[in-house]
Chain A
């Protein structure tokens, strides 16, 4: 280990601000690159499920309507 203590690790010999901001930005960017498509896929799935629920509800409503009231 190159550093004696956690404070030494944080300070990085005076360059701590640079190193940690660079690594922090990197972490944020990489996470964003992964999370954005995951979020999008989830949104598409949710939309499809909602549409399917509506379709199923309509089918059930149509089934429960007595045949005399069904549209010809």
Chain B
């Protein structure tokens, strides 16, 4: 078991091996993601009951909550990949970190927009400074900082290392920011303005949500693999294996 893990670890160091193995996983992942997302969406939009107070706008939960969860999880993944790339100098981890940033930022932005759209019929305004939305906004700033830092360096290896340091600093701060924003919100808004109360959701509402969350996770993995493959092709485009793969030698006349 350990030797298998160790050989896996060694193999992960090779972008080429990663490209080949991810190519095998890709179709299944795409199928799974599509099935979960489409199934969850249909269930949530058409079959799940509407909320007693919020009516049908409640259905936005099926995309807002998974997007915010993936936004958070994506940051942790980015920071972990950064840590691995710093400690073990693994190229694949560096690529994973670099690709995770724009995907996470896009999902964070989606979470903010859907949260805002949801807020309008529920509370009458396009923006409410509640604890969760504020934390997601700060998370968006953290993502943009990492992306901006990467773009600012000309030497891309230094860029990756700097972003690894920054995402590690950020990941330590994310729980602190989250708790301090929760505390700040509870201080200023004693009335519960929560979108989802602590009360349990009816199963008919919960199951499609769980399917959508699983679907979003699969989608994230799919998106990350696609982005990593593209980045690896870009970085290794002068190597033998990429040339053989994409531009096999034309038959000599």
Contacts and interface: CB of A to CB of B under 8 A. Distances in A.
A19 B41 CA distance: 12
B60 A18 contact: yes
Contacts of B80: none
**Which range holds the interface residue count of chain A?**
35 or more
Interface of A: 1-3, 9, 12-16, 18-19, 21-23, 25-26, 29-30, 32-34, 36-38, 40-41, 44-45, 47-49, 51-53, 56, 59-60, 63
Interface of B: 37, 41, 45-50, 55-57, 59-60, 63-64, 67, 99, 103, 106-107, 109-110, 113-114, 117-118, 120-121, 219, 222-223, 226-227, 229-231, 233-234, 237, 242-243, 246-250, 252-253
A70 B161 CA distance: 50
Given A38-B230, A40-B230, A23 B56 contact: no
A58 to B, nearest CB: 12
Contact of B243 (A30, A33, A34, A48): A48
Contact of A44 (B103, B113, B230): B230
- The 4 A-B pairs of least Cβ separation, nearest first, read A52-B247, A37-B230, A12-B56, A15-B57
A29 B105 CA distance: 11
User: From DSSP, what is the main secondary structure of chain A's interface residues?
Assistant: helix
Most buried by B among A21, A23, A38: A23
B47 A2 contact: yes
B50 A22 contact: no
Contacts of A30: 37, 219
7 contacts: A19-B56, A21-B117, A22-B114, A23-B60, A30-B37, A49-B246, A60-B253
A48 B103 contact: no
Given A15-B55, A15-B56, A19-B57, A29 B247 contact: no
Contact of B113 (A15, A25, A52): A25
A40 B106 CA distance: 18
A32 B106 CA distance: 10
B57 A18 contact: yes
A12 B48 CA distance: 13
